Structure 1
């Protein structure tokens, strides 16, 4: 029987929509239309990923709930609402793997921009000011990557290539990780922070990681260190970050994600020296939408053929625990 699929969108459709429509009885819904179209659907594709519309439209009768929800993103926190998490018949999948290389390149670019003060150079160019000055090397500097999933691992490999020393922070301490070498747990975190020139956040947002970078973590960071966040904005206590940046203890930050997006115009982060603000675009490179759509199409084929889905999320943990080998 052909499945009834609802694709949640904001005006931009998946580039492979015709291929999707060949496999499923497909309807398209805006956030406003979703409450009428979601009940009774077999599957939902959240093509517009950062939304609470699914939670707000979820049917009270479990018999009308879709059996599969896929999100065109790595993060799934807007979908971890009780009715979905608590229903064992609902499978949640994400787009883990699509963004890894792009975000790793972005992190390298941010670190270079901070070390070489490219924002200052561009500002001097804008003012037609000739100001020679020294910059910093990144070779030999230490990067602590907080989050040992696929994105964190891609970041670690990228930074090692350019000569940085890399360690990680994860749930379990170990000394022989293939990408990080040493992985610290929370018990040894203070030691790791004290030796890191750059702290890169690539962890998922869960109940355990929300506001994990609080005043104690910021105070434990090496004086003159910099924070790079390509994970989720809510990983960081932004008020405390502003305070530690303002007093000069930290040299700067590069932030692609924020607790509130878009970042409010009144936020002091916009104008702070040494801070780079970007609009949640670290993974958005040429062709990224096609990659997201192709991953969903592959999963739709798998579901139609009764094969295991890629990127099944552990709904209690909030992330994919193991990467499933990709096979044709």
Structure 2
């Protein structure tokens, strides 16, 4: 490179700093809570790990690589970044396990109407009721990346039939009984007792589930979203929930976050809302640092990086 490597790392816990330094022992590594705190170093930075806005990108004339701590990079793909030659990598895969677990938790809670038990507990009522079971039901997963694949394994272990929807349906997953393409959305949702979104938000996936999709779903089916809001059209989803077009929804990811206090989703009796919290685990953060440390070692050695984002595809 001809000049000392400067790596700016933002938003990692102190206990991870030594691992990062060890991956680039001859580099200057600067740590901060936020990128804004090290704005004066950006003009000399070769690598930035963390949230880098357009102004920071413009200032970083020597920048070669940006790493996002998030698995989904829709927020990082502003026009200047898309047009830039700077390589963008993601932490894709770091939250696959907890997202799959969170989706499964929401599926169980919806199927058994767990909020009813919580309400009964609050009033000390012995409220026994007939509920469902996941075995024999069909789980339709939108997006077959890390989280979708992890959920497919867990759903299959619950003796569920598993369907997948992905951009390239020719790419099969062992636990998935049938794969659908984007042009088969209505057929896919019509077969599913649970439609679970684990996909990235891209130009192609935004609004993928609209009026036609929710009208095609069974009235006994549930919608679950653990990756990104906006893949389902909120107006169409709200109509389906209010009119009995579907039985309920479990929403961890929302089109607007935080979910506004006046959002009707908060108060619908057939909706469970969680605050985009499904992958907020220590292990998720650790796996994200693992990905960056491995990539930093590769960058120093001049080797290809993992998790390079196709800026035009959106993931």
> How does the TM-score come out when normalised to structure 1?
0.88
Deviation >6 Å, runs of 4+: none
Quick one: which of 152, 157, 160 aligns to 2:156? 160
User: Structure 2 vs 1, CA of residues 286 and 227 (structure 1 numbering), >3 Å: closer, same or farther?
Assistant: same
Corresponding residue for 1:36? 40
In structure 2, C-alpha distance between the alignment counterparts of 1:231 and 1:181, rounded to whole Å: 22
Contact kept, 8 Å, 1:141 with 1:165, in 2: the verdict is yes
Contact kept, 8 Å, 2:149 with 2:173, in 1: the verdict is no
1:207 and 2:203 correspond: yes
In structure 2, C-alpha distance between the alignment counterparts of 1:172 and 1:291, rounded to whole Å: 27
1:55 and 2:59 correspond: no
Quick check: 220-229 or 14-23, which moved more?
A: 14-23
Q: Give 1:166 shift.
A: 0.6
Contact kept, 8 Å, 1:55 with 1:78, in 2: the verdict is no
1:27 and 2:38 correspond: no
User: Structure 2 vs 1, CA of residues 246 and 166 (structure 1 numbering), >3 Å: closer, same or farther?
Assistant: same
Secondary structure at the aligned position of 2:15 is classed as coil
Q: Give 1:55 shift.
A: 2.2
In structure 2, C-alpha distance between the alignment counterparts of 1:2 and 1:152, rounded to whole Å: 41
User: Structure 2 vs 1, CA of residues 35 and 217 (structure 1 numbering), >3 Å: closer, same or farther?
Assistant: farther
Contact kept, 8 Å, 1:2 with 1:25, in 2: the verdict is yes
Post-superposition CA distance 1:14-38 (Å, at most 9, x none): 5311232342312234253354332
Contact kept, 8 Å, 1:146 with 1:152, in 2: the verdict is yes
Quick one: which of 302, 317, 327 aligns to 2:313? 317
Corresponding residue for 2:16? 16
In structure 2, C-alpha distance between the alignment counterparts of 1:181 and 1:124, rounded to whole Å: 38
Contact kept, 8 Å, 1:38 with 1:57, in 2: the verdict is yes
Quick one: which of 128, 131, 138 aligns to 1:142? 138
In structure 2, C-alpha distance between the alignment counterparts of 1:206 and 1:99, rounded to whole Å: 18
Secondary structure at the aligned position of 1:15 is classed as helix
Matches within 5 A, 1:1-328: 1-9=3-11, 13=13, 15-22=15-22, 23=24, 24-29=27-32, 30-33=34-37, 35-46=39-50, 53-59=52-58, 64-88=61-85, 90-174=86-170, 177-319=173-315
Post-superposition CA distance 1:90-147 (Å, at most 9, x none): 1111111211122111111111111111111011101111111111011000111011
Corresponding residue for 1:323? none
